[in-house]
Structure 1
Amino acid sequence: MRIYKVGGAVRDRLLGIPVTDIDWVVVGATTEEMLAKGFRPVGADFPVFLHPKSGEEYALARTERKSGRGYGGFTFHASPEVTLEEDLIRRDLTINAMAEDDQQNLIDPYHGQRDLEARLLRHVSPAFAEDPLRVLRVARFAARYAALGFTVAPETLELMRQLSESGELEALTPERSWKEISRALMEDQPQVFIEVLRACGALKVLMPEVDALFGVPQPPAHHPEIDTGAHTLSVLEQAALHKQPLTVRWACLLHDLGKGLTPEEEWPRHIAHEFKGLKLIKAVNERFKAPRDCQELAMLVGEYHTHGHRALELKPSTLLELLQSFDVYRRPQRFEEFIAACEMDARGREGLEERSYPQADYLRGASTAARTVAVQPLLEKGFKGPELGEAIKRERLKALKAYKEQV
């Protein structure tokens, strides 16, 4: 039995960045031997075990063979005869196909260290094209390591293009796709993820609604960058720079989908794009089974982001309707995330990245004014049922009028 550290832990140590997860491969062992040493088995598909003390994952060396469509369409074979090199060749990228022994000696049969130095994301073998999930994974790694100068090797991008055209991407489950998409959106440069997917034709397959935004012009007075797709990438970039949570980043990606539906003869104006985009946002949400908080915020930002930008001009009654739509009385955090998405949208414009956004504080103040209306005095006056609801609404409207005059 020989044990090797593999994959990301080796890669990140060589890059000089913090190692978060450590994976191990066990060569020359059987399932029975692992169990005898106290390892706990996990997963039904292939033999992976948890260390009895550290809880880290130890996998028996294995080979794999394509047996069906999609990410799960593989047959695995694990036995004491499988070599470390055979295990490593089934991995996606050369930089993830390196191992270390217990003396920290590097085992690098597929030249991962060379590609690390060249800042290249390159596939290990032609078998890369058998797993459609790798298209998303490579795009995610491109987003993660973009700041270090990494790019996708041309021949790997070509394989990703072939995968995108093959129909294999449609075999991915929503859960697996969302796992990669959500992780990619939380990288430091999530816009690179979208750029790489677009470069290999995968964006057109996975999110045609986002792909359709590229080449669609907007009024230069509001959008110096003009192109709607370029704007979306900039908004996503701003969301990452400002450390926004996943909900906000997802909403930023989808907020302008309605502009992809505008007839060319109406360009560069996009009348009512907020409402037109809702059915598209709903479709993308459902396609990837996004978590409910991501779905809800994306829909609300899509519908109301222009309200956010015009906050200072809104009538008190419109402002009240906006607050009601977000249920700020029970869910103030969701409104805070809406404000953040609006600010990212305002900053995601060429040359305007540092602009101030007074609408943010104004909206926060309006929310506070409406939420501080006390219900108890109205109850004491005898209001109840629908009459109480109307009385609360009147008092909140009064509070918002006072707030607007004061500001």
Structure 2
Amino acid sequence: MHIYKVGGAVRDRLLGRPVSDIDWLVVGATVEEMHAKGYRPVGADFPVFLHPKTGEEYAMARTERKSGRGYGGFTFHASPDVTLEEDLIRRDLTINAMAEDEAGKVHDPYHGKDDLDQRLLRHVSPAFAEDPLRVLRVARFAARYAPLGFRVADETLELMRQISASGELQALTAERSWKEIERALMEAQPQVFFQVLRACDALQALLPELADSPQGLPALEQAALHQQPLHVRWACLLHELAPASIKAVNQRLKAPRECQELALLTGECLTQGNQAQELPATALLELLQRFDVYRRPQRFEDFIAACEMAALGAGKSGYPQAEYLRGAAAVARAVDVKPLVQAGLAGQALGEALKGERLKALQAYKLG
């Protein structure tokens, strides 16, 4: 029985990057041996065990073969006779197919270290083409390691094109696709993820709206540079699309509600935000009402951030409308409802009167 660190932990240590999660691989052990050493089984599809003291996951070495469509269409075989090399060859990229033994020696049968040095994302074997999810994973790794100069190897990009042409990408569930997209959006250069998908013809299959309208990528790049949260990055990516297209993307990928709301509101209101100083007070009030700035002020701040990233992405030096919009929101929120209540107003009458007072406040704000 031999235990190895595998995958990302080895890769990132060699790159000098922080190692957060460690994947453990057990070679040469039986299920009975794992039980005898106190490991607790957790895996349903293939044998994975929890360490008796640390609680970390330890997977038994396994092989796999294609048995159906999509990400889950595989049959696994785990046994003591599966070698380290046989387990590593089923992995996606050579830089993820290295192992480190308990003495600290790196086992690198597929030359992942060479590809690290050459800054290449290269597939391990032709079996790469059997898993459509790997198209998204490679694009995500390209986004993560773009600051280090990594690129996708030509032969791997060609395999990714073959997967795109096969129709296998359509077998991915919305949940699996969104998980990869979400992680990619939070990488150092998320725009690279979508550039790689376009280069291998996968964007047309997964996000056809973006294949025809790539204008959101500069805004997304700025959002990453300014460390914006996920929902702002998503809104930046989609901001140039028509509202109907934004709705379609949101629904197809089952994006989280916060992402859906901000993306749609940004797509619908970006023009008004960019013309804030020229808007009449009635239109300005309507814009504030759309975002419910009284109960959800942060959502309006996120909208302003998305507008600012879009402006920077378009080559502008800043977004002067930001302070104007914040000032308008502050003026509208400052209107006191108490005098209206004390005057005996309630229900719809109170709502209309409050709206009228806010409109007056905004009219004064515009004059000031």
- Scaled to the shorter chain, the TM-score interval is over 0.9
Q: Give the residue type in structure 2 aligned to 1:362.
A: Y
Partner Cα separation in structure 1 for residue 279 and residue 105 of structure 2:
66
Alignment of 1:21-170 (within 5 A): 21-170=21-170
* Residue 249 of structure 1 pairs with residue 233 of structure 2: yes
Partner Cα separation in structure 1 for residue 224 and residue 253 of structure 2:
21
Q: Give the residue type in structure 2 aligned to 1:139.
A: A
* Residue 324 of structure 1 pairs with residue 289 of structure 2: yes
Which residue of 214, 232, 236 corresponds with 2:220?
Answer: 236
User: 2:349 is matched with which residue?
Assistant: 387
* Residue 374 of structure 1 pairs with residue 336 of structure 2: yes
Partner Cα separation in structure 2 for residue 99 and residue 131 of structure 1:
22
User: 1:343 is matched with which residue?
Assistant: 308
Q: Secondary structure at the match of 1:282?
A: helix
* Residue 306 of structure 1 pairs with residue 271 of structure 2: yes
Partner Cα separation in structure 2 for residue 402 and residue 35 of structure 1:
75
Partner Cα separation in structure 2 for residue 342 and residue 401 of structure 1:
24
Structure 1 gaps, min length 5: 214-228, 258-276
Q: Give the residue type in structure 1 aligned to 2:234.
A: W
Q: Give the residue type in structure 1 aligned to 2:251.
A: E
Partner Cα separation in structure 1 for residue 173 and residue 361 of structure 2:
49
Which residue of 236, 248, 259 corresponds with 1:283?
Answer: 248
| CA displacement 1:200-248 (0-9 Å, x = unmatched) | 00001101100012xxxxxxxxxxxxxxx2x322111101001011101
- CA 1:382–1:144 in structure 2 vs 1: closer, same or farther (change >3 Å)? same
Displaced runs of 4+ in structure 1, greater than 3 A?
none
Q: How many residues align?
A: 368
Offset, 1:330: 1.2
Offset, 1:56: 2.2
Partner Cα separation in structure 2 for residue 36 and residue 378 of structure 1:
75
Q: Give the residue type in structure 2 aligned to 1:405.
A: L
Which residue of 354, 363, 375 corresponds with 2:325?
Answer: 363
Offset, 1:328: 1.2
Offset, 1:33: 2.6
- CA 1:310–1:40 in structure 2 vs 1: closer, same or farther (change >3 Å)? farther
Aligned alpha-carbon RMSD (Å): 1.1
Q: Secondary structure at the match of 2:49?
A: strand
Q: TM-score, normalised by structure 2?
A: 0.98
Alignment of 1:166-315 (within 5 A): 166-213=166-213, 229=214, 231-257=215-241, 277-315=242-280
Q: Secondary structure at the match of 1:76?
A: strand
Partner Cα separation in structure 2 for residue 38 and residue 382 of structure 1:
72
User: 2:12 is matched with which residue?
Assistant: 12
Which of 61-70 and 367-376 deviates more?
367-376
- CA 1:132–1:389 in structure 2 vs 1: closer, same or farther (change >3 Å)? same
Identity %: 74
Offset, 1:9: 0.3
Partner Cα separation in structure 1 for residue 296 and residue 171 of structure 2:
37
- CA 1:35–1:324 in structure 2 vs 1: closer, same or farther (change >3 Å)? farther
Offset, 1:357: 1.3
Structure 2 gaps, min length 5: none
Q: TM-score, normalised by structure 1?
A: 0.89
Q: Secondary structure at the match of 1:178?
A: helix
